[in-house]
Structure 1
Amino acid sequence: MKTIMAHNPHDTFSLSRRYLPWKKKLSEEDDADSMDEERSKPSDQDPKKTAPTTKHQQQQNSISSRKKFSAIAVSKLRSALTLGRARFSSSGLGSRVVGTLFGNRRGHVRFAFQEGFNLTPAFLVELATPTSVLVKEMASGLVRIALECDKKKGREGEKKGAGLGLLEEPVWRTYCNGKKCGYAARRECGPDEWKVLNAIGPISMGAGVLPVPVPVPGGSDNGEMMYMRARFERVVGSKDSEAFYMMNPDGNNGGPELSIYLLRF
């Protein structure tokens, strides 16, 4: 019989591992012995309590913990978005607003700025200018209306850090294309104003005369009710300056026909 000789000890080990599965047999015998020992031990505890956690259970626990973490994160995100939205809409207006000019032909004109046509106006002001005069000005060219007011120093509200917002100022000096036009007063949107706004309806842009007489403060005997509605771009310069630029339809770049500036000095 030919003897198998190894050139070095490493060859001997490799040959024995290749042809004799020692490791596999020993591991199988050890596993069998350990299982016999476990079966022979007395069971003093509840098997449900002593049973090791399976891989499936670990996965379920991991998934539930991730769902709980996601729910907490979503809750925090929603609360942050809600707070941010409340801060942004504290004045009731965003960057794009609905502007409505209306008034009896021989009465005073009013401006109302709303976030949406069916929402309460965040800013409603009555000018001393008659509606017919302003319509003629707009027909002749560009109209720039500036509303100015003074800062009231030493007010109790300012001492407490709760000063009026710019849109909450009650009285304004009015200038139309550089000419002084008396004073404007801030108004609340009452039932008469709502009749006009509701009569115009969801029109986003247009001008005309209401088909039925709609009473407003000042009486319905001041002529026909005229109105003009358009989209305005609102630009906030600071807490003491804002501007409203009428957006032209169809992308016309000729400049806004009507601009309104609010300034507090």
Structure 2
Amino acid sequence: MGEPRFSTGASSDDHWHGRAPPSPPPPPSRQPLSLVQPSQRRRHKTKVFRVFRSVFRSLPIISPVCKFPSLPMGIPDPHRTASGARMTGTLFGYRKGRVSLSMQETSKCLPTLVVELAMQTNVLQKELSSGMVRIALECEKRPDKDRTKILDEPLWTMYCNGKKSGYGVKREATEEDLNVMELLKAVSMGAGVLPGNSDMEGPDGELAYMRAHFERVVGSKDSETLYMLSPEGNNGPELSIFFVRI
């Protein structure tokens, strides 16, 4: 985020007569961080679900008389109903810089995941304007003894609509990331720009963002998907992000 520059207020007359110039005003401080830690309720629910699943698996399996038609593997149903955990997702970045993805339990919480994607912000905006974007982040499977969660992987090979575009990198939230999340704390969904300051675009560069609710669906320990949820009756862009170990 850019900060205004101040002059010292010293005149040539001050220096000429040997008087000390007045102290410059302090630079404006960043907005105080008020984001809170994510709750632990989801972990408790997951544990209860695992217990229920283990009991359910011990029951006899009864085959139904008729079956619903299933979609081909890897192709999500656009008319699916929400069944996973709902989270707040934000895509943001400078126009000529790489776009980042931040996931939060709610807009008032600290990020639980920040991934720098292998795509410029303006390129992603063009892809979204076409209506449908599928981002796949793939990494290699680890040995069974390594229990690393898939969202804790440090590096993924990234594909956008089937085309390889580079590597997605997980990183810790930076000061600028947290400041963006703080500024957008009251925004549940929407898109716009924030004032920024980057080496590439200068102090007048604008940081674009798009925020929406995402449904997080856990397929297995080696696959998770984030589906962007559009408001009812809104035919906006469709975005799905797949995390896969292969």
User: Is the TM value for this pair above 0.5?
Assistant: yes
In structure 2, the partner of 1:185 is 169
In structure 1, the partner of 2:24 is none
User: Over the residues paired in the alignment, what is the CA RMSD in angstroms?
Assistant: 2.6
Looking at structure 2, the residues matched to 170 and 262 of structure 1 have their Cα atoms a distance apart, in angstroms, of: 12
Paired AA for residue 178 in structure 2: W
In structure 1, the partner of 2:86 is 96
Paired AA for residue 182 in structure 1: G
After superposition, what is the alpha-carbon deviation per residue over 1:175-225, rounded to whole angstroms, capped at 9, x for unaligned? 000010100100111211101111222211100111x32x47x66639310
In structure 2, the partner of 1:250 is 232
Q: Which runs of 4+ in 1 moved over 3 A?
A: 85-88
In structure 1, the partner of 2:216 is 234
Partner SS state of residue 112, structure 1: strand
Matches of residues 59-98 of structure 1 in structure 2 within 5 Å?
84-85=44-45, 87=47, 95-98=85-88
In structure 2, the partner of 1:201 is 185
Paired AA for residue 245 in structure 2: R
* Shift in alpha-carbon separation, 1:150–1:105, aligned structure 2, 3 A: same
Looking at structure 1, the residues matched to 238 and 42 of structure 2 have their Cα atoms a distance apart, in angstroms, of: 36
Considering Cα pairs closer than 8 Å and 6+ residues apart, tell me whether 1 or 2 has the greater RCO: 2
Task: Tell me, yes or no, if the aligned pair for 1:103 and 1:225 is still in contact at 8 Å.
Answer: yes
> C-alpha displacement at 1:117, in angstroms?
1.1
| Structure 2 runs not aligned, ≥5 long | 1-40, 49-83
Paired AA for residue 101 in structure 1: L
Instruction: Give the total of aligned pairs.
Output: 171
Structure with the higher fraction of residues in helix conformation: 1
* Shift in alpha-carbon separation, 1:175–1:199, aligned structure 2, 3 A: same
1:143 has 2:133 as partner: yes
Partner SS state of residue 132, structure 1: helix
Q: TM-score, with normalisation over the residues of structure 2?
A: 0.63
Partner SS state of residue 84, structure 1: helix
Matches of residues 208-227 of structure 1 in structure 2 within 5 Å?
208-210=192-194, 212-213=195-196, 215=197, 221=202, 223-227=205-209
| Structure 1 runs not aligned, ≥5 long | 1-80, 89-93
Partner SS state of residue 111, structure 2: coil
* Shift in alpha-carbon separation, 1:194–1:219, aligned structure 2, 3 A: farther
Looking at structure 2, the residues matched to 219 and 86 of structure 1 have their Cα atoms a distance apart, in angstroms, of: 43
Looking at structure 2, the residues matched to 114 and 142 of structure 1 have their Cα atoms a distance apart, in angstroms, of: 23
> C-alpha displacement at 1:152, in angstroms?
2.7
| Greater Rg by CA | 1
